[in-house]
Structure 1
Amino acid sequence: MIEPSLTAAMRHALVTYQPKKLSLDRPKAAVLVPIHTDPEPSVLLTVRASHLNSHPGQVSFPGGMMEPIDPNLAHTALRETEEEVGLSPSGIDVIGELSTAYSKDGVLVYPFVGIVSDPYQSVASPDEIAEIFHVPWQFFASQAPELQAIDRHGMSFHIPHFHYEGHHIWGMTAMILLELINLIEGTDWPTPDFTLATRPGETP
């Protein structure tokens, strides 16, 4: 699938898509799934700095915790993207939202998909990001993920794993990607429904 077909398909699919939402009383965070089309449709990903307390050295999307200054979660995703990789919100077109994810730390994570006009202007913040890299969409569209079965939050589900040029893409980042892959490519890889998740004393 080539541009503009990919972004057109994403826009069309996300307009009518109804992501699964969680309403637990938990801390909230947001991430951006940055899609760009130059020179080919690709996904921008980061490697978290090794000195961070949370998920050091892991592949992730730009994003972070919602703060009082954020009017909404889409703003959180854009603000954190600018802080971490230097991409201005003015160059990002947010086209939709994916299902809420539930981290192992009990944080609700809200993923937003954005078309990035000039991804190669990105600059990693050394305080948070060790590396920025780009994975062609075709890799995800044609690659079967490795699936690892786990039990967490009172439910059983699969964690997908991808390996691309020395990068291990897994966990929540891969689960978010897999939901978008299923939506756009018509595949049916298993993705968790976190509306079924429970923690002691809580019901989604």
Structure 2
Amino acid sequence: MATDPLDRILAALGDARTGSSDYDLNPGVILPPGRKLRAAGVLVPVLCGHGPARVILTKRSSALKHHPGQIAFPGGKQDAQDPDITATALREASEEIGLDPGNVEVLGYLPKHETVTGFDVTPVMARVHAPFQPRAQAGEVDEVFDVPLAHLLDPGRFRVEKRLWRGNWRHYYTVPFGPYYIWGATARILRSMADLAGPR
């Protein structure tokens, strides 16, 4: 019987894990106590059972206010009508990439992630059962693509890079794939997933 490619991650989802943030690699940053963050949910959709498992990602529109042109999971801020953060992630994935919620099996939650833009992001891990034709949301998503899960679970694929941000050097994770420069919050969440899949 073939091993489920998500087994190692699923086995660790219940572990108590500290959330991550865009400031992880920058220990000199002191976050103000009592800061108010906006809840957001992203879907981490993994297509399984049709060849090697692949993670579906998006390239955001360059016209967006937050994280323009960056590689991201489908997702966004929680709206008042969303009953919970899982509903947010599923709704956003349906809107942004045309993923039918009926084709999705929610598996659990990766550690939360705080962004420099003030969002408290919950990554919702999900299995996509059947291949589908992505439909990029006009004005929000420039491209929908996928990356082999094995590439993203290999710690050796991750690098720490830096750039000047508001006059200071900011360090962050990257996990490039082909022409796609995956960095920042998306790379940090993927690094958390790779850590969960590590030796137990």
TM-score, structure 1 normalization? 0.79
Partner of 1:160: 173
> Gaps spanning 5+ residues in structure 1: where?
188-204
1:21-40 matches, within 5 Å, as 25-37=36-48, 38-40=50-52
Shift of 1:48: 0.4
Partner of 1:10: 9
1 CA distance for matches of 2:56 and 2:7?
Answer: 18
The share of aligned pairs that are identical, in percent, is 31
How big is the shift at 1:124? 1.0
TM-score, scaled to structure 2: 0.81
**In 1, Cα distance between equivalents of 2:121 and 2:83:** 16
Q: What SS does structure 2 have at the residue aligned with 1:130?
A: strand
Residue ranges of structure 2 left out of the alignment (5+ in a row): 21-33
SS of aligned partner of 2:44: strand
**2:107 is the counterpart of 1:63:** no
Corresponding letter in the other structure for 1:33: V
CA distance in 1 between counterparts of 2:164 and 2:114 reads 13
The reply on whether 1:175 has 2:174 as its aligned counterpart is no
Q: Does 1:45 align with 2:45?
A: no
The equivalent residue for 1:192 is none
Q: Which has the higher helix share?
A: 1
Q: Which residue of 1 aligns with 2:198?
A: 185
Tell me: higher relative CO, structure 1 or 2? Use CA pairs within 8 A at least 6 residues apart.
2
- C-alpha distance in structure 2 between counterparts of 1:66 and 1:115, whole Å: 21
| Cα offsets for 1:134-176 (capped at 9, x unmatched) | 1001212334311136899xxx995211111110000000000
Q: Which residue, out of 116, 119, 127, partners 1:104?
A: 116
Q: Which moved more, 1:20-29 or 1:61-70?
A: 20-29
Matched, 1:90 2:102: yes
Distance 1:182 1:21, change over 3 A: closer
Given that residues 99 and 132 in structure 2 are in contact (C-alpha distance below 8 angstroms), is that contact kept between their aligned partners in structure 1? no
CA RMSD across the alignment? 2.6
Judging changes above 3 Å, is the alpha-carbon distance between structure 1 residues 134 and 99 closer, same or farther for their aligned structure 2 residues? same
Paired residue for 1:132? 144
